[in-house]
Amino acid sequence: MTPPRRCLGAFADLPDGDSRGFDPAASGQDSLFIVRRGERVFAWRDACPHIDGARMAWRRHAYLNAARSRIVCHAHGAEFDIETGRCLRGPCVGSQLLAVEVTVEADGGLWLHGPVE
């Protein structure tokens, strides 16, 4: 059975070098976020591995450090590699963010494949 797909929005609406949170379940709280680097996107579950359920952003869409070179958990100060999700600094060094399958399709959309676990 093919997992359900859902369009999250337009790739062009996500500025290069920036991040955005998404709420595909319309729960009122973002459950995933995407970081764009050039033509590539990296999608992660919005939960720090240090404390299960801890949200990463200090305000909506604020997932990156000031240099936009790493993902930051603003609750714990942990820093993560954008491409691998691996914790590089902070209380959960060696842990990883949970990847979410998102693709950029020919229609220019950001498509979520399956549920956000």
For the chain (117 residues), the mean pLDDT of every run of 10, in chain order, is 83 97 92 96 94 83 96 93 97 93 95 85
Question: Which phi and psi angles does 7 have, rounded to 5°?
Answer: -80, 125
Give the Cα separation of 16 and 102 in Å (integer): 16
**Pairing between strand 5-10 and 40-45?**
unpaired
Q: Residue 1: what pLDDT?
A: 56
Which residues face 33 on adjacent strands? 21, 44
Q: Does domain 5-113 have CATH number 2.102.10.10?
A: yes
Q: Residue 115: what pLDDT?
A: 79
Give the Cα separation of 35 and 42 in Å (integer): 5
- Judged by DSSP in three states, 12 sits in helix
* 109 Cβ neighbours under 8 A, 6+ residues apart: 7, 8, 9, 10, 11
Contact call for residues 20 and 61 (beta carbons, < 8 A):
yes
